[in-house]
Structure 1
Amino acid sequence: MAVYAAHLTRTLQGTPSIFQIAAQEALGSTVKPALKRLIEYLASVYPNKCGWCERWYDELYLLLDFCLQYHYLKHYAASFSECFYGLLRVPISPSNEFHSGTRLPEGLEKGSLILLVFVPYLKDKVERIVEKWREDNEDGYLGKSTGDRARKAAIKLYSITHFVLETAKLVQLARYLTGRTVSPALELALLGLTVKDAPPPEPEEYTWSDLFRSLRAGQMSDASLSFPLLGRGLLSAVQYGAFAVQLLRWWEARAPPITALPLPKPPEKTEQTLRWKNKCPVCLQSWKVPTVLPVSGYVFCYGCVSRHVRANGTCPVTRLPTSEHTLVRLYLGV
């Protein structure tokens, strides 16, 4: 009866809105780049102590993400971002849930952990390799050898696979909006899961307020700093940090676009710029796919400037802030 009551409690929760689904997905995709910015800053300030963190950032984040997601899946039956927005995962088939009470079945828990942690890690690695091959192909470095043809085929295969997966995710979300499926995400549908609004949390027996109240009253015997209390405090700090990341992301979106900045002065003719005439300032070779950066007016090879802008967000010559979508292709002699 207790297990059946737990099943009713979980399955009768309200259906999450599309805004909750979109918000938790946005949070999940924001945490990793935000932490990377922090690691890059620490590595630039303390290169001897924190330089290795930048080199092994993907593996460090994999370990952190594994611990975080495992904890939330085990104790809350939800990912970190889902728990942040008051959601939990529920098996679509109730027969599986009757064997696990309020927790996810072990198979679904492991499957969720794989799709939440390891699949994104492998996807980032593959995407980085394919992106390098794509840039080499645009620069004309891939020839007609067997290996180069295989790389070109891998680029096309990855593009097709990415398009199919993104289309499938969009179709799954559209079916959820129209009520034809209960799983809002493709990953959840593959596992046979859906998400529901989580029930209100049970009140904690001993909180930080109780600790500080005992310390102010001088009741040292009642003031105890336990491991569960520290754990809850650490998790609360992570959640507030995630909220701060979302706030900074909103603040950055409110910033005026690059096109609203005043027009820069044209580059002055110097001895250095004369050497760059009809050449890319990065590789000092004749242009390959000439591309202009409007923020500075210099013309580069597309591969050279796109790599630099993607990695640094600045012009290679003037260091003015810019982004990859501002690049303009030039068709010279056409």
Structure 2
Amino acid sequence: MAVYAAHLTRTLQGTPTVFQVTAQEALGSTVKPALRKVVEYLAATYPNKCSWCLKWYDELYLLFDCFLQYHYLKHYAASFSESFYGLLRVPLNFSSEFSSGPRLPVYLERASLAALVLVPYISDKVERIVDRWREDDEDGKLGKNTADHLRRAAIRVYSVIHLVSEGVRLVQLARYLMGSARSHSPTLAVLGLALSEAPPQQLPEDEYTWADFIRNMVTGQIGSAVVTFPMVGSLALGAVEYGAFAVQFLRWWESRATHQHTHALPTPPPPERDERALRWKNKCPLCLQTWKIPTVLPVSGYIFCYICISRHVRANSSCPVTRCPAAESSLVRLYID
């Protein structure tokens, strides 16, 4: 794999626009859920062989993301998504160590790797734990013992930290838009890095490429047509890059087609209120009690307790009232006073 030439100088000329930096962040956030869909399909198709992959998906993705990001940081001084959009990371305070070589300083490379891989992994784990505690608290499962009081305090602290972090991100992005900050995100600012447009990549003169391979095959020089490891690596990385872009395009196309299709249909008449709706007014049709964490099932429109309907849908994949097919991912939380 070719790397940038050693004489390459890195400056803050060609500062990327806010559209470039937000697009690369969106691309980076697409890879994990897209791969999860693939793993879910494999687990459903081959449950005996691939079900463990879904159970340990976060850890498997952590290893994959670590190798992927390390490769791009090492060879391109950028993350996977940043490199895809032609960006690279440059230190805000230049040093001879950095300007004389093709890589980031080792400490910045390691810090960038931790920020790209380890921090999101820990953040996702903490968010899931807090969300579970929040649901238990809203469902009345948390008591008055010391451990439950600590869980409630952790929920409040996490909410404050999340609000402050999002506010800091917004302020940093606003400063970047106004030109008063050279880093668009607080993470890059803390690391002392900024994004810059990458210069065109130059291949070494002796680098054998796929163009050479095809030309040798067409001209009949079969003996000279060899496949090297850098060629295979570039093909694999290119497939990952354009595969991620294809996932984003398909998501946009699906949302666009759904939007157009929905607006093309006539508005259906409202359903008539039946006896069951009157009998279950302000009650969960499953437990016949007042809603706890009211959750609507869009396929039928009935409102249930979250625990009741999530348990039923996982077991039966259908609405308990209308028997229409349903999935747990379609549940919508309602916030009713």
Query: 201, 208, 211: which is aligned to 1:209?
Result: 211
CA contact 1:76–1:103 (8 Å) conserved in 2: yes
CA contact 2:6–2:102 (8 Å) conserved in 1: no
Counterpart check, 1:296 vs 2:323 = no
Distance (whole Å) between structure 1 residues aligned to residue 85 and residue 326 of structure 2: 38
The structure-2 alpha-carbon separation of the partners of 1:308 and 1:175, relative to structure 1 and needing over 3 Å to count, comes to farther
Aligned residue for 2:16?
A: 16
Deviation sequence 1:238-266 (CA, Å, 0-9, x none): 11111111111211331435986765867
CA contact 2:297–2:319 (8 Å) conserved in 1: no
Aligned residue for 1:254?
A: 256
SS in 1 for 2:222: coil
Superposition RMSD in Å: 3.3
The structure-2 alpha-carbon separation of the partners of 1:4 and 1:218, relative to structure 1 and needing over 3 Å to count, comes to closer
Larger relative contact order (CA 8 Å, sep ≥ 6): 2
Deviation sequence 1:160-202 (CA, Å, 0-9, x none): 1011111101111111111111011111001000010000011
Deviation sequence 1:109-158 (CA, Å, 0-9, x none): 00000000000000011111111111111110001110100000111111
Aligned residue for 1:128?
A: 128
Aligned residue for 2:236?
A: 234
Query: 300, 309, 319: which is aligned to 2:325?
Result: 319
Unaligned runs of 5+ in 2: none
Deviation sequence 1:255-284 (CA, Å, 0-9, x none): 4359867658679889xx999897635667
CA contact 1:214–1:223 (8 Å) conserved in 2: yes
Aligned letter for 2:43?
A
Aligned residue for 1:76?
A: 76
Distance (whole Å) between structure 2 residues aligned to residue 40 and residue 173 of structure 1: 35
CA contact 2:168–2:186 (8 Å) conserved in 1: yes
Aligned letter for 1:280?
C
Counterpart check, 1:149 vs 2:143 = no
CA contact 1:175–1:181 (8 Å) conserved in 2: yes
Aligned letter for 1:25?
E
Which deviates the most, 274-283 or 148-157?
Answer: 274-283
Aligned residue for 1:280?
A: 284
SS in 2 for 1:256: helix
CA contact 1:172–1:186 (8 Å) conserved in 2: yes
Counterpart check, 1:26 vs 2:32 = no
Distance (whole Å) between structure 1 residues aligned to residue 311 and residue 105 of structure 2: 45
The structure-2 alpha-carbon separation of the partners of 1:91 and 1:68, relative to structure 1 and needing over 3 Å to count, comes to same
CA contact 2:6–2:100 (8 Å) conserved in 1: no
The structure-2 alpha-carbon separation of the partners of 1:160 and 1:315, relative to structure 1 and needing over 3 Å to count, comes to farther
- TM-superposed CA distance for 1:319, in Å, is 2.8
SS in 1 for 2:188: helix
CA contact 1:289–1:330 (8 Å) conserved in 2: no
Q: What is the TM-score when the length of structure 2 is the normalising length? A: 0.84
The structure-2 alpha-carbon separation of the partners of 1:86 and 1:4, relative to structure 1 and needing over 3 Å to count, comes to closer
Distance (whole Å) between structure 2 residues aligned to residue 80 and residue 51 of structure 1: 28
Aligned residue for 2:226?
A: 224
State how 1:153-232 maps to structure 2 within 5 Å: 153-203=153-203, 205-232=207-234
The structure-2 alpha-carbon separation of the partners of 1:304 and 1:73, relative to structure 1 and needing over 3 Å to count, comes to farther
Unaligned runs of 5+ in 1: none
Aligned letter for 1:250?
W
SS in 1 for 2:39: helix
State how 1:21-100 maps to structure 2 within 5 Å: 21-95=21-95, 97-98=97-98
SS in 2 for 1:117: helix
The structure-2 alpha-carbon separation of the partners of 1:307 and 1:170, relative to structure 1 and needing over 3 Å to count, comes to farther
Distance (whole Å) between structure 1 residues aligned to residue 192 and residue 312 of structure 2: 43
CA contact 1:43–1:50 (8 Å) conserved in 2: yes
Aligned letter for 1:218?
G
- TM-superposed CA distance for 1:203, in Å, is 3.7
Which deviates the most, 116-125 or 247-256?
Answer: 247-256
The structure-2 alpha-carbon separation of the partners of 1:222 and 1:294, relative to structure 1 and needing over 3 Å to count, comes to closer
Distance (whole Å) between structure 1 residues aligned to residue 70 and residue 53 of structure 2: 23
SS in 1 for 2:10: helix
